[in-house]
């Protein structure tokens, strides 16, 4: 892992975003030099301002789709490139669909060319969205997905799939040391307060004493991974993963959206008011990654949902009213609820709470 190696110079695209800025902090903490770039269409200025107070961080506002602007980047030397750049989130599909497709194609190839020129190890952050609306659970990396190429979500889904194809091509044709991680739902500090995705939007509404808005009936399922575990997964694949071979990195326990809200209510020690609305875009029924492949590299989940949500409460200045019970781990798979508590057969690494 990076904390045990020699000092590196690392390029991070999408450095103003949630995951990009968090990775920049992680690499700076490890003593590395970080060059962050972002075009700031969805990035957070506060993330960059925080990073710019740190030694060994440099930032350029650059659109990776502009090859001429990237000439500044090509003059440097990088050991590793973490490629996070791309607008994310279902609410952004309508607004930034064209930018998503361009960034996953032209932008990704531009950054791959830099990796080729500089002989840098490259990590492409793909997404669980490449599986579309899956009919196989859990989703293993060999599953090709169920994607509508002209559907409402296709700009992001097909964009990420095309980006993976570029990674494979550059590895096979040009011997670029290029890795792929498919990120599932993640959360943690440094998410934009204006982010309309479920967890940051939920905390924003709680802070403002508003009801939580759930689109649909709330029975669609997702898994949730805390940011520190995601960053460790990305570093693990960067260091040990096979080139051009995708790895799922995500939580290993399905929760319905309703169960997630109940879990948050358990952390807060009170019931949370909910308002249900018709979804503004077609939604997918569920997501659940098979994470056995990345676990074979030594990665594991270390932060349970209760602890992660409690940390988010501290980030938003919201008082909590529950304790974490670290002696009752949760099961892998779908959780169940009774008497206001989360239950499941035991497995290592997923503490429950009550």
Active site residues: 156
Tokens of 260: 């997630």
Token readout for 156 is: 């992001």
Contacts of 165 (CB under 8 A, 6+ apart): none
* Among 250, 293, 70, 82, residue whose Cα is nearest residue 178: 82
Q: How far apart are CA 104 and CA 124, in angstroms?
A: 10
What is the phi/psi pair of residue 166, to 5°?
-60, -40
Say which residues have a Cβ less than 8 Å from residue 10's Cβ, sequence separation at least 6.
27, 32, 33, 34, 35, 78, 79, 80, 81, 82
338: β partners: 341
Strand partners, 132: 146
- Residue 170, judged by CB atoms within 10 A of its CB (0-12, 13-18, 19+), counts as buried
């Amino acid at each position: 892992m990076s904390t045990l190696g020699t000092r590196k110079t690392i390029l991070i695209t999408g450095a103003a975003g949630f995951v990009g800025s968090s990775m920049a902090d992680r690499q700076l903490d490890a003593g590395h030099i970080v060059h962050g770039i972002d075009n700031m269409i969805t990035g957070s200025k506060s993330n960059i301002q925080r990073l710019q107070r740190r030694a060994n961080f440099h930032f350029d506002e650059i659109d990776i789709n502009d090859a001429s602007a990237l000439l500044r980047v090509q003059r440097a030397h990088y050991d590793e490139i973490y490629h996070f750049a791309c607008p994310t989130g279902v609410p952004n599909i309508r607004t930034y669909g064209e930018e998503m497709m361009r960034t996953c194609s032209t932008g990704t190839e531009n950054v791959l060319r830099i990796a080729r020129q500089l002989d840098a190890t490259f990590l492409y952050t793909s997404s669980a969205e490449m599986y579309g609306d899956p009919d196989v659970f859990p989703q293993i990396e060999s599953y090709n997905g169920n994607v509508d190429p002209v559907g409402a979500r296709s700009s992001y889904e097909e964009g990420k799939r095309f980006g993976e194809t570029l990674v494979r091509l550059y590895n096979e044709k040009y011997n670029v040391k290029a890795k792929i991680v498919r990120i599932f739902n993640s959360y943690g500090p440094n998410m934009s307060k204006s982010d309309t995705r479920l967890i940051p939007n939920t905390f924003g509404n709680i802070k403002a004493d508003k009801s939580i808005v759930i689109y649909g009936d709330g029975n669609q399922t997702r898994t949730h991974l805390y940011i520190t575990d995601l960053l460790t997964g990305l570093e693990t694949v960067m260091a040990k993963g096979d080139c051009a071979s995708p790895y799922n990195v995500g939580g290993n326990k399905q929760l319905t959206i309703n169960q997630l809200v109940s879990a948050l209510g358990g952390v807060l020690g009170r019931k949370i008011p909910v308002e249900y609305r018709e979804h503004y875009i077609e939604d997918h029924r569920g997501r659940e990654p098979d994470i056995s492949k990345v676990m074979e590299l030594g990665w594991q989940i270390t932060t349970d949902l209760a602890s992660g949500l409690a940390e988010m409460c501290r980030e938003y200045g919201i008082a909590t009213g529950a304790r974490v019970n670290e002696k009752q781990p949760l099961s892998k798979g779908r959780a169940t609820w009774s008497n206001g508590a989360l239950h499941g057969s035991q497995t290592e690494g997923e503490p429950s709470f009550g």
